[in-house]
Amino acid sequence: MRKIYLDMNIYNRPFDDQSQIRIKLETTAIFAVFQMVKSGDLFLVWSFVLDYENSLNPYDDIRMEIEMSAYLASENVMASEDIRKMAKEYEHKGIKPRDALHIACALKAGAEYFLTCDDKIVKKAKMLGVNLKIINPIDFARKMEVNQYATDE
């Protein structure tokens, strides 16, 4: 079973202006990912960083909707000193502090994939030297679809 961690921008994407094609495609891919989680094909990881970032959302309805997503998670990563230390290493490699915490949480949970809509993080993924596939939701959904067809044959 694949374990995934979703950056906060993934949870917020469905609430963004859907008139842009990229946003609409990412939203469609995100809904497909949530369907895979609900059907048990993927395990979702939640974290204290997601709780914190979501608490900053000024829109009550969106904040509550995202909060409900936490109930889909099969694991919740709590704050710890080793996560903080790991995150500091990624900050020294040019990753923003909160993003570094997200990556550290994903690694702590043993996630195979870290999904994000942030192109900068995706581009910096290789230089981090971590055992975590950092990928855009569209590319992830495409990859899962290809894997599904390969196993169906």
List the strands of the sheet with 42-47, edge to edge. Answer: 75-77, 42-47, 2-6, 113-115, 133-135
Contact present, 26 and 12 (Cβ < 8 Å) = no
Q: How many domains does the chain have?
A: 1
The pLDDT, as a whole number, for residue 152 is 47
Place of tokens 């490699």: 93
Q: What is the mean pLDDT of the chain?
A: 93
pLDDT in tens, 10-27: 999 999 999 999 999 999
What letter represents residue 61's amino acid?
Answer: D
For residue 69, give the CATH number of its domain: 3.40.50.1010
Provide the residue range defining the domain that includes 97.
2-152
Instruction: Give the pLDDT band of residue 146 (cuts 50, 70, 90).
Output: confident
